[in-house]
Structure 1
Amino acid sequence: MKKLEVFDPALCCSTGVCGTEVDQALVDFATDVDWLKKQGASIRRFNLAQEPMEFVNNTKAKTFLETAGAGSLPLLILDGEIVLAGRYPKRHELARWFGIRPNIEKAEIVKSCCGNGKTCC
């Protein structure tokens, strides 16, 4: 299976899902990473604040950081090739990269209490 490496900006913890003000994009991505791992995907995340040597030891990450700067993170490298930078991918993008069918649940249709789509007021 393919291997995804995620080079995160400096975060307060390994996922960035901590503290009082949580970025929803980080919450969504952490959920999607867990989902992908359950599908058998190989994903490793590196936090600039906690694992700076991973950035130095990866030629593409090091060059990217030197050229674009830490403000351009996250950087995603799939099988040695940069696939995305500057934002976290959506589940459908991750699924496409790994050749996995995305598990997207349909939203439940909520009917009006008055029926026929009219409001009660």
Structure 2
Amino acid sequence: MKLEVFEPAMCCPTGLCGPSIDPELTRVATIHYVLQQRGFDVSRYNLASEPNRFVQNTIVQAEIMNGLDVLPMTLVNGKVVKRGAYLTNEEMAELTGLPIAAFAKQDGEKPKVRISLKK
């Protein structure tokens, strides 16, 4: 299964920057990390940093012709499965066959942030 998320323009590729972080973007980043760790083919594309991905995909190009309110948009194996919002944890569990607990943050668990100090 190939899962692609086409997102509106954000200040950085993940949207997880700036003075206040949107919890929804943190949730989505966590889900994508979990899926990648389990071997799923998952990609996120930000309109501001990867506009070529939007132009190269004829389905996405056709969808955004009438406005960007369809973003974020999720495609699975090249077919649109959701427009205008991110998939919920429940939808993601149903789609992948994974238990919903795989995507839920445990009570009291702090978000894990990985920082690369490569020069």
Q: Distance in 1 between matches of 2:79 and 2:41?
A: 15
AA at the equivalent of 2:69 = G
* Residue of structure 2 aligned with 1:99, choices 75, 97, 100: 97
Match of 2:85?
87
Deviates more, 1:7-16 or 1:94-103: 94-103
Q: Distance in 2 between matches of 1:34 and 1:11?
A: 19
Percent sequence identity over aligned pairs? 37
Match of 2:69?
71
AA at the equivalent of 1:52 = P
User: How far 1:21 moved relative to its partner?
Assistant: 2.0
Q: CA 1:79 to 1:106, structure 2 compared with 1: closer, same or farther past 3 Å?
A: same
Aligned length: 106
Q: CA 1:29 to 1:73, structure 2 compared with 1: closer, same or farther past 3 Å?
A: same
Match of 1:114?
none
Q: Distance in 2 between matches of 1:32 and 1:57?
A: 25
Q: Distance in 1 between matches of 2:106 and 2:15?
A: 28
Moved over 6 A (4+): none
The DSSP-based 3-state class of the residue aligned with 2:80 is: strand
Match of 1:13?
12
Match of 2:24?
25
Q: Distance in 1 between matches of 2:32 and 2:44?
A: 10
User: How far 1:43 moved relative to its partner?
Assistant: 0.5
CA offsets 1:25-81 (integer angstroms, 9 cap, x no match) = 1111111111111111110111100111110110110001102x1233101000011
Match of 1:37?
36
Q: CA 1:44 to 1:105, structure 2 compared with 1: closer, same or farther past 3 Å?
A: closer
**TM-score normalized with structure 2 length:** 0.80
**TM-score normalized with structure 1 length:** 0.79
Q: Which residues of structure 1 form unaligned runs of 5+?
A: 109-121
Q: Distance in 2 between matches of 1:90 and 1:18?
A: 22
The DSSP-based 3-state class of the residue aligned with 1:15 is: coil
